[in-house]
Amino acid sequence: MNDTAVETDPAPPLGSDTPLPAGTAGAVARARRGALSLRRLTIAERVGYLRTLKAIILRRREEIIDRIQKDTGKSRADALISEIFGVLDNLAWLEKYAPKYLSPRKVHTPIALMGKSSWLWCEPLGAILIISPWNYPFYQAVVPIAVAIATGNTVVYKPSEWTPLEGLLEDLFAEAQMPPNWVCVVYGDGRVGASLIDQRPDKVMFTGSTRTGKKIVQQAAQYMIPVELELGGKDPMIVFDDVNVERAAAGCAWGALTTTGQSCTSVERVYVQERIYEPFKRALVKEVERIKQEVDTDGDADLGAMTTDFQVQIVAHHVEDARAKGAEFLTGKGWSGASRMIPPMVVDKVGSDMLLAREETFGPIIPLFKFSTEDEVIRMANDSEYGLTASVWSKDLERAKRVARALECGGVSINNVMATEANPALPFGGTKHSGLGRYKGEMGLYAFCNVKSVLIDKDSAKIEANWYPYTREKYRLFTDMTVKLFGGGVIGFVKFALAGMKLERYAKKASQEGRRPGGHS
Ligand code: NAD
């Protein structure tokens, strides 16, 4: 971290003497008790609850959007698109695909283990602690909770103290007929989160800042609790000079500004190839200048307010730092530096030493950078301690894919922006300081499972060739079988079958007669 960054730790210092809120003590034990009834259900029954929940959310969407807006100050359309639609889409995906991916699955059994069958059983872990941030308080609650329920786990859920949506989840889950100890919601700050980890849940799924993520992984390590960390980002957008400039500029404006730039996957660095740098800049400024900013009541505004004052301070610090180091602000020049209504700012002449180039800003700021070659832009994009997502824009799909492969991050959208996380089938997660693990999609289901490996053999008289006793003769026969098995070719396979039978006969005899069957070694 750059040492000139604002040090903000909104949570009170851990270890403070104020008593923890009611419901904190014993929360994990309550969820563990809930796990007993959830475990008994089939996968189809579990996703049945999610289907009911989906219908309830769809019906009550306007009321939920009111609550989201009240806690976050985002625009109504942002709440609809990123939170309500996103949640429904993920619930629909789970309903359709969780039974397919979570049912016992037969996998390949090699020839050397002939006669047996091999299986994957996806079993619940138990009670999962989910800790969420303030930027998507509905989505970041319901999606991981739904993944937990689909995989047969109960949940202790701790929302952000800044956007608790108090009582809303309990109300929705009760209407979906889910018993109260399937999802135990505990309100409070970081101290509450830390105390819940001390109750030793079976897994911690944390979404939030890299700073807190590091504390969580250290605390969980003491108890060997597995963790899933979805952390911050400084996501690059790379625009080559063969693109449709107007479309790329429109995508850039949305990707950098949606939810007032307070998304972990917001576009935070825009690299534009030199030949189109000026036209792209003009198109982007035009796009940004027509944005309507308001905490609206009818869906007729693009951009809302910032959610917290401490995040406003971070943005102000980055803006001041950029101004002092010579950056040029093309839009949003009139901002006081204190209001939560931060106007979107397109920033030119951004140096690599500025906070805008290195730290997560998490506000409606769009820093532009010029590049000339493919190698240069890959170096620039990877020169970050973060690695969440990225986007690459070019008509030449081969080039776009080549660059996407070279980027050190967890997801890349090609000719689109923030699009990988829009597909519930794609796993989500970062590299470097952006996190550990993946959630969502098929792989994300396994993150909440004990994937049990099972091999089934028949009860019979057969003695395995690898069981005792080991003898010189068995060593010779095993070597012969190994060479024939891995030597390749059809004839090799026939020779392997013959060698295998010989070895099996010998193994059986050796087991019945002792170390020297028939008196030979
Ligand atoms: P934060 O780290 O301050 O807080 C996140 C949550 O952790 C809150 O619920 C908080 O109360 C809790 N917490 C704080 N200290 C704790 C501790 N010691 N032990 C346990 N819990 C503790 O983050 P934030 O400011 O709420 O959220 C913004 C950050 O989240 C940004 O960095 C953003 O990039 C990141 N984020 C990441 C993703 C992702 O999926 N990668 C998604 C959304 C937000």
Q: 101-107 long-range CB contacts below 8 Å, 24 or more apart?
A: 101/442, 101/445, 102/43, 102/150, 102/151, 102/445, 102/449, 103/43
186 touches ligand 1 (CB under 6 Å): no
Strand partners, 131: 158, 206
Residue of 186, 264, 386 best suited for mutating to test ligand 1, as the one with most atoms within 8 Å of CB: 264
Cα-to-centroid distance, 229 and ligand 1 (Å): 10
Determine if ligand 1 sits within 6 Å of the CB of residue 287: no
Distance 132 CA to ligand 1 centre (A): 6
Q: Which of 1, 90, 135 to mutate to test the pocket of ligand 1 (most atoms within 8 A of CB)?
A: 135
CB atoms within 10 A of CB 383: 13
Whether residue 302 has its Cβ less than 6 Å from ligand 1: no
230 among known catalytic residues: yes
Distance 3 CA to ligand 1 centre (A): 20
Which of 131, 132, 187, 210 has most ligand 1 atoms within 8 Å of its beta carbon, as the pocket-test mutant? 131
How far apart, in whole angstroms, are the C-alpha atoms of residue 292 and residue 275? 30
Are the CB atoms for 163 and 71 separated by under 8 Å?
A: yes
Indicate whether residue 259 lines ligand 1 (CB < 6 A). Answer: no
Distance between CA atoms of residues 389 and 358, nearest Å: 15
Distance 130 CA to ligand 1 centre (A): 11
Catalytic hit among 83, 95, 161, 230? 230
Answer yes or no: is the C-beta of 148 below 6 A from any ligand 1 atom.
no
Ligand 1 site, residue 134, Cβ cutoff 6 A: yes
Per residue of the chain (521 residues), give pLDDT as tens. 233 333 344 454 445 667 888 899 999 999 999 999 999 999 999 999 999 999 999 999 999 999 999 999 999 999 999 999 999 999 999 999 999 999 999 999 999 999 999 999 999 999 999 999 999 999 999 999 999 999 999 999 999 999 999 999 999 999 999 999 999 999 999 999 999 999 999 999 999 999 999 999 999 999 999 999 999 999 999 999 999 999 999 999 999 999 999 999 999 999 999 999 999 999 999 999 999 999 999 999 999 999 999 999 999 999 999 999 999 999 999 898 999 999 999 999 999 999 999 999 999 999 999 999 999 999 999 999 999 999 999 999 999 999 999 999 999 999 999 999 999 999 999 999 999 999 999 999 999 999 999 999 999 988 999 999 999 999 999 999 999 999 877 788 888 989 999 999 999 999 988 876 665 54
Kindly state if the Cβ of 137 falls inside 6 Å of ligand 1. no
Number of H helices, E strands in the chain: 18, 18
Q: What is the pTM of this model?
A: 0.94
Q: What whole-number distance in Å separates Cα of residue 383 and Cα of residue 150?
A: 38
Distance 16 CA to ligand 1 centre (A): 20
Cβ neighbors of 266 (< 8 A, separation 6 or more) are 233, 235, 255, 256, 257, 258, 259, 362, 418
Is the C-beta atom of 73 inside 6 A of ligand 1? no
